[in-house]
Chains A and B, each alone.
Chain A
């Protein structure tokens, strides 16, 4: 560490991104005054091939031992410059980045101020690199199996793609069947093909695939480990039905006397029995007992399902089982739900059965739904004559009750609903209240125009202020037509709310287990919004479907495939390079107190008896030893260590203090 460094400083213009607000020549000039700096230059694009060649050239000509690149965020190009240094024959960890773009030029307007700050940031990076030591990456193994959390279309597609590439993959789905939201849909835009018809073949394919194991009615309980080597505990909830013995005949559900439980699959619009399969095409076709509502579990007196089951599959004694599996990659495909409408009283959703959400309408229009596919009012079973659709219920709503984002799919599915209703019931009047109609996508705008022009759907630009149930059972819709600038009061028999979508409720818990980032709306964050859209910032964790952001089925399937490819790319590797910025104990300072062992989240620290030579005194001492394959380099131990023996390579105490000093100088 004490050897004298020969540092080269490279200041990037980033076109005008940096150079417009930072005097780059001045930064280079000031850098030359810093200790250890023997070379400083500026260039238009340091990340370009020519820029990297300049680095290689300077390393050779000036005999550089360390490099500081003043450029964009290290999250952007640190790897680029480390690789460039390595090609030039330097240890890649002798490179530090001064972030003078995201943290300087882009946020400051005053050139003098920004230049001053850039000089200081460069100075801090130089001070740090003066204390850098060459580091070597270790290796870790890759478990060649993937886990997909969520069994909707996103999870199924990801699992199929991974399985087709030859790697085993497990799907964990919390409900009793795979299929997800798509299985609840009636038709799909813009082709109007039946959702189940295109989904169920995929479900069957997944269940029959030799490389896919499906754990339904199961949840991820705990995740530990890291990229290539995750250990996951999966809770297989007690189904109370033996999966091997059950033939799926369905007699148990038929005979079950506890029939008045809201059907989750039909969004609570009708009832199911306590022992049930969520829908006819469920995979696996094995029922579960809903223990909260089962008479046998509540009172101990029933047991009819066990009596009628010819296969003897019903097992009241079954317990939750926790299985532990190892995976190399994890794909989150946790999906979405519609938001709760408790705060949207003006639409009378809780007051009237005839105000329904669009997802509920999907069930109403579906032949397997609560009305057998017949469009009718849920209050009195009459056919509606006037239907009003209200767009953006909770979407694009910046008040605290709604979501600031656009839910993306609502404009299209509303056009679909309107079109299907007008097609099947031509005498029904359909009006759609909208803020904007947003239909980007292949054949999407054409689809919307067909709804408006060919099918005569009445699109009204404006929002609805109130839906008031009337004594005669109809609904008075009060809104505004912005184009005609007039108030509208119209009677409807049915109101359909295009409710905003939000990530599935359990996603936060899963994100915490995966240590994956999550945003304010509970969508999982991607590693880079443009260039790494299907990877989580946490290595080895990938994102598939709506858990990352609102999207329709084609986009979900595309992203699912992309996530699969990323996972396959990881599983195809035999070994991974590990982060060399790990903790290291100074054997002369360590007194073996175990403080570091207690705070290490990875169990990477153990103790060993080692003979040390303390200034001529040879003795055996108890000393902390860090397992580099397990250490992830958080640094918790370094601060806990009372004797200052523990330090983090790459972010050492001296390095950080040098940065502090350089900034405060």
Chain B
């Protein structure tokens, strides 16, 4: 809550959450009334491994200031191995994005289980604060997308 009041800059943040752990964790954060800034918008995917690096590039191109990917803890994936793929893909993608000038603070992978409402909320608070401190994402934004 304090973050909401503190920062004037409102970052656009896309959160990809896997259906089995993190989306449920976000639901638990909701039903437990554990607040985080409204800048975070969640997209539900079946598994963290469903998230194509292209989706993340697309988000940055369309003006997102930060993208976070949440999945089940390693070893706990509903599909056994999906989050391992996600972890490898994102490691590569994020280092490439950093090289392109999209700072590492704008991208994050976090494992949040269905029981970790508190972790979901604190993660989102931290992430929003971090992205807000980095300011607007100008490196990948498509100028034609600005309004």
Binding site for B on A (CB under 8 A): 73-75, 99, 101-104, 106-110, 113-114, 116-117, 120-121, 124, 508, 511-512, 515, 517-520, 525, 537-538, 581, 599, 601, 632-636, 638-640, 648, 651, 653, 656-657, 659-661, 663-665
**Given A106-B30, A109-B35, A636-B79, does the pair A99, B42 have CB atoms closer than 8 Å?**
yes
**When the two chains form their complex, are residues A635 and B50 in contact, meaning their CB atoms are under 8 A apart?**
yes
- Interface of chain A, helix or strand or loop or mixed? helix
Question: What number of residue pairs across chains A and B have CB atoms under 8 A from each other?
Answer: 165
Shortest distance in angstroms between B28's beta carbon and chain A's nearest beta carbon?
A: 8
Does chain A have a CB within 8 A of B134?
A: no
Q: In the complex, which residues of chain B have a beta carbon less than 8 angstroms from the beta carbon of A102?
A: 26-27, 29-31
Report the Cα distance A107→B128, complex, angstroms: 15
A538 touches B35 (CB 8 A): no
Measured CA separation A653–B57 after assembly (Å)? 13
The reply to whether the CB of B59 lies closer than 8 angstroms to some CB of chain A is: yes
**B76, CB-defined interface residue at 8 Å:** yes
Q: Min CB distance, A510 to chain B, in Å?
A: 12
Q: Which of B49, B53, B59 has the most A CB atoms < 10 Å from its CB?
A: B49
Asked if A636 contacts B41 (CB within 8 A), the reply is no
Enumerate chain A residues within 8 angstroms of B89, measured Cβ to Cβ: 639
- In order of increasing CB-CB distance, the 9 nearest A-B pairs are A102-B30, A635-B50, A519-B115, A664-B62, A634-B79, A634-B47, A636-B49, A102-B27, A117-B38
User: Could you write out 17 A-B pairs with CB less than 8 Å apart?
Assistant: A73-B27, A99-B27, A103-B42, A517-B78, A517-B115, A520-B116, A538-B78, A601-B82, A634-B47, A636-B49, A636-B85, A638-B50, A639-B53, A639-B85, A656-B52, A660-B55, A660-B58
**A635 and B81 contact, CB distance less than 8 A:** no
Instruction: Please name all residues of chain A whose beta carbon is closer than 8 Å to the beta carbon of B42 when the two chains form the complex.
Output: 99, 103
Q: Tell me which residues across on chain A come within 8 A of B49, comparing CB atoms.
A: 599, 634-636, 639
User: What residue of chain B has the Cβ atom nearest to residue A114's Cβ?
Assistant: B38
Number of B positions contacting A (CB below 8 A)? 54
Interface contact B45-A651, CB-CB below 8 Å? yes
Q: How far is the CB of A338 from chain B (nearest CB, A)?
A: 22
Most buried by B among A581, A659, A660: A660
List A contacts of B79 (CB < 8 A): 515, 601, 632, 634, 636
Q: Which B residues touch A664, using CB under 8 A?
A: 12, 14, 59, 62-64, 145
Interface flag for B127 (CB, 8 Å): no
Residues from chain B with a CB closer than 8 A to the CB of A106 are 30-31, 33
Contact B45 A656 (CB under 8 A): yes
B101 within 8 Å of A by Cβ?
Answer: no
The answer to whether A108 and B24 have CB atoms under 8 Å apart is no
Determine whether B113 belongs to the interface, using a CB cutoff of 8 Å to chain A. yes
Q: Does B51 lie at the interface of the complex (its beta carbon under 8 Å from any beta carbon of A)?
A: yes
Contacts of A511 in B (CB 8 A): 76
